[in-house]
Structure 1
C-alpha cells in the first residue's frame, strides 16, 4: 500500500487518474482511491464518458440477445441480462434494453441513435455524481473532475451542479498551499472530437488560464489533458489514411501539443498532469516540471493512476505510478 511505501506523512497527497471512458468499474475505483491511498485530493483528468451504446434486444418469452465487439450473446434469464449489462458498463459502454421494432428504427436513423446515446451518457454522468456524493460525504476528500476532448459540453453543467465533486475545467482551484489549473482541450486529432482546436488557439486558451494563477511555480499544478509534444508521454500508434494502425500498431509518433509544451516551459509548474494517450504511461521532466501520464486500461476495468506527495507547498516530494 502507498501509505506504507511513503514512510513520512505528506502535507498534501493527491491521486490522479484519467481516461476512464465510461468504465463504471474505474469510476468506482476512482471514488475509493482517496481512502485507499490516503490522498486528500483526487483528480480525474478527462475523457470520463463512454463511446457507444450496446442494445439488448427483446426476443420474446423472457429471452434477449445482444452483440458486443462482434460477438452475439443470447440470454434466457434476467440474471444473465443483468450480468451482461454489468460487463458492458465495466468496458465503458452503455447498455440499454430495446425491442426489435425500435432496434430497426435505430439502425436506420442516425439522429435517433445519437439521441439515445446522448441520453444514456448524460444519465450515467448524473448517476456517477450521485455515487460520488454518497461515497465522499464526510470523508474530507476533495474531488476534482475536468472533462476531456472526448466529453460533450453538457457534462460540465452536471459536474458543476454536483455535491462533493468540483468542476475543474478552465478554473484555478486551491488545495493545501498549491493552485491547480485544468483543461480538457487538446490539439487537433483525426477524430474531430468535441474539445480540440488549432495550436495557436489552444496556446491562447492556456495563456488565459495560467495568467490567473497567483501561486509561485513551485506551488503550481497544470492539469492539462493533452500531453506536451515530443515528451515521450505523447507517443501514439501512427495511423494510415483509412484510420487503421500502421504496421499493426508498432509504428508510433508524437501527437502531443506544442502549445502545452510551451506553457510548461514558460510557467515551469512543479507538476504537470496529463492523459489523452493511453499507451504513453510514464513520467519525464521539462525543465523543473515533473510531467506524468498514468496511461489508461479502462477496457480491462483497471484504474491506472499516480499518487503524488506535495511537500509543504514547496515542491513535489515523491510520486509513484499505480495500478488497481
Structure 2
C-alpha cells in the first residue's frame, strides 16, 4: 500500500458580494467586513446601480415627493441606505425628463457615474484597487463598464482572469425579465458561458456567473405567495459540465445559501440592499500537495466558508 501525506503549499482568502443596487450603506458595510475578515481579494458583482429614481419637486425651496412635503436631508440619507437616485428640480423640468427616454437615460448614466466615482475611491481607501474586482451584471447599464474603467477599477465580467494560481471566469448576463439591461435567453447564456469556459482548467477554476443554477437552494424566489425556482438551466449545465472548485452567484436576493452541484460548491450571498445591510461570503482557497510515494499531486480545495450578514465592526 502506497502511503500518502498532505501538506499545504499556499492559501488565500476571497470575499464576494453582489446585488447592491445603489445602496451605499450596504457597499461600505460589506467592504468593512471584508477588511475585518482580512480577505486578500474581493469580487463585487452586479447589479451595482440603483433600480429607482425619486423625482423631487422644488417649489421655492420647499421639497415635494409625489405631492407630499419631504425633508431633503432625510430623503438623501434614506436613498443612500436603500439604494435610490434623487433628482431635485422644477416641475416642468421633471415632466420633461420623464417624458423623454434619452433624457432619463442620461440622468441614470450621470447618477451611476457619480456613485461609482465614490465607490471606487472608498474601495481604494479600504483595500487597494488591484485587490478589488468588479463584475457588472443584470440590471447594470451597458455604459457602466467604461465608467468603472475610467475610475481605474479592475473589470472582470465576460472575461477569464488569473488570480494567483486560480482562474476566475465571470459572466453577468441574466434571464429576460423584460425591462433590464444585460438580459439574454438561456440558450445564449449557455453559448457565451461555454465559449468563455472552453479553455478553462477545471482543477483551478472559479465560476462567477450572476445567474444561480436552476433547482438549487440558490434560486428560490418569492413569486406571489409561493416560492419558485427562477435560476438558469444553462448555468446548471455549465457547472455540471465544467465542475469548478466553487461557483459564485447572485440575482435572487432572498436565496442566501450554499449547495452542491456534483462536486462543485455553489454560493449565493443574497442581498439585503433595501435595508442598507451587508451580505458577504468569505472563503479560503487552499492548494494542497499530496505525495503518493515519490509522486506529488496538487489539488485546490475550498475551506472555511463564512456567510456574514451583520457585524459589530460595521462602521458607516
TM-score, normalising length: structure 2: 0.85
CA apart distance, 1:226: 0.1
Structure number with the higher strand fraction is 2
Aligned to 1:308: 283
Structure 1 residue 222 corresponds to structure 2 residue 221: no
Equivalent residues in 2 for 1:58-69 (5 A)?
58-60=58-60, 62-67=61-66
Aligned to 1:241: none
Aligned to 2:150: 161
Contact 1:308–1:319 (8 Å) recurs in 2: yes
Rounded Cα–Cα distance in structure 1 between residues aligned with 2:89 and 2:76 = 13
CA apart distance, 1:107: 4.5
Structure 1 residue 275 corresponds to structure 2 residue 250: yes
Structure 1 residue 210 corresponds to structure 2 residue 206: no
2:108 aligned residue (110, 114, 117):
117
Contact 1:228–1:234 (8 Å) recurs in 2: yes
Rounded Cα–Cα distance in structure 1 between residues aligned with 2:70 and 2:181 = 35
Q: 1:180 to 1:318 in 2, by over 3 A?
A: same
Aligned to 2:293: none
Aligned to 1:136: 127
Cα deviations across residues 231-281 of structure 1 (Å, max 9, x unaligned)? 12111122xxxxxx2xxxx31211111110111001100100000001111
Contact 1:269–1:289 (8 Å) recurs in 2: yes
1:172 aligned residue (160, 165, 172):
160
Rounded Cα–Cα distance in structure 2 between residues aligned with 1:135 and 1:97 = 31
Rounded Cα–Cα distance in structure 2 between residues aligned with 1:323 and 1:141 = 25
**16-25 vs 193-202, which moves further:** 193-202
Length, aligned pairs only: 291
Contact 2:30–2:280 (8 Å) recurs in 1: no
The alignment partner of 1:56 has SS state of: strand
Q: 1:131 to 1:266 in 2, by over 3 A?
A: same
Contact 2:35–2:127 (8 Å) recurs in 1: no
Cα deviations across residues 166-203 of structure 1 (Å, max 9, x unaligned)? 101011122232111111112233x3421121222111
The alignment partner of 2:250 has SS state of: coil
Rounded Cα–Cα distance in structure 1 between residues aligned with 2:119 and 2:92 = 31
Q: 1:192 to 1:15 in 2, by over 3 A?
A: same
Q: Which has the higher contact order (CA 8 A, sep 6+)?
A: 2
Q: 1:228 to 1:315 in 2, by over 3 A?
A: same
Aligned to 2:182: 195
Contact 1:45–1:224 (8 Å) recurs in 2: no
Q: Note the residue ranges of structure 2 that are not aligned, 5 or more in a row.
A: 1-7, 288-298, 311-316
Rounded Cα–Cα distance in structure 1 between residues aligned with 2:70 and 2:135 = 38
Root-mean-square deviation (Å): 2.2
